[in-house]
Amino acid sequence: MSITNEEAVKQLRALMEDVDDSLRESYRNIHQGYTTETLSRFLKARDWNVQKAHKMLLECLEWRTQNEIDKILAKPIVPVDLYRAIRDTQLVGVSGYSKEGLPVIAIGVGLSTYDKASVHYYIQSHIQMNEYRDRVVLPSATKKQGRPICTCLKILDMSGLKLSALSQIKLMTAITTIDDLNYPEKTETYYVVNVPYIFSACWKTIKPLLQERTKKKIQVLKGCGKDELLKIMDYESLPHFCRREGSGSGRHITNGTVDNCFSLDHSFHQDLYDYVKQQALVKGSSAPIRHGSVHVKFPEPDTEGNKIFDTLETEFQKLGNDQKI
């Protein structure tokens, strides 16, 4: 970190010492004892502008307070059959850890359908995984490595991506905006694998719109990416869709559900769901667990985000028209 960046962290830290008491619990849940790393993330997201980073962080804390994000890990999605349906249509999981100790998060972009529950349930599930990552997974990795582990790697599986994904743009915009504004700079690198033509066509148009900082994080790998990924993680940490060519993230190609990190039967999702149910009992005492989704206010995407999603929508429509012709 340069002297300039160190000074920026120092200034932002001083500003946060005066944070309102009502926001302090949220601030603790965000930094988990690692304030320097947390302040650096918000500063990096705002190009090291202290005032802009301060505004972003305060707005994040206010969003968390207004939407009771600090309590979301005590609000399980019930019944379990509904949660299983969400897991089967929102393909996300932790497959293992990199050689440097960073959690490896796998996302089945192409085969996620988001069609078994309301938008609010999918948003709730996404935020719960973010919070579990930040409050449980990363602190555990930090303890194991003996140094701060505050970020992760993401592997995006594009197999099965179709033009019908256009119907999910609104939900994906909401999820991406929530992450950009409230969980900034949590991902070191995005590895994109099993890329079909539709992605390649859109990527050429979208890439120039991305900030240089974001472009450097994205690596589009050949095929399932196995050879490249084995340079940074062991075979056991590879997501199931990267273990052989053409595997994809389909649930039928794994050797049982345990290997499929998207499945509710995978150890990560079992631990997460058990943790949320336990927190619900602790926080709610003897009160029964309530059914119903948590309604979280969706932040408005910034200008860059709007432009990217508008461009993506246009490209999907062009490809659809070409197919018809």
Is 192 a domain residue? yes
Is 206 a domain residue? yes
**What is the CATH number for 208?**
3.40.525.10
Whether residues 128 and 59 fall in one domain:
no
What is the tally of structural domains in the chain?
2
Nearest to 202 by CA among 62, 96, 317: 317
Dihedral of the alpha carbons of 118, 123, 125, 128, in degrees to the nearest 10: -150
Q: How far apart are CA 107 and CA 91, in angstroms?
A: 6
pTM, two decimals, is 0.88
Whether residues 125 and 39 fall in one domain:
no
What is the reported pLDDT for 253? 41
Decide: helix, strand or coil at residue 264: coil
pLDDT band at 325 (very low <50, low <70, confident <90, very high): very low
Q: How far apart are CA 170 and CA 14, in angstroms?
A: 38
What's the pLDDT tens digit per position in 59-90? 999 999 999 999 999 999 999 999 999 999 99
What is the reported pLDDT for 161? 83
Sheet hosting strand 103-108, strand order edge to edge: 92-97, 103-108, 152-157, 187-193, 218-220
Task: Tell me what the mean pLDDT of segment 159-168 comes to.
Answer: 75
What's the pLDDT tens digit per position in 18-72? 999 999 999 999 999 999 999 999 999 999 999 999 999 999 999 999 999 999 9
- Residues above pLDDT 90, as percent of the chain: 68
**What is the CATH number for 51?**
1.10.8
Whether residues 126 and 97 fall in one domain:
yes
Show the domain range for 116. 74-244+259-280
More confident residue, 211 or 82: 82
Is 249 a domain residue? no
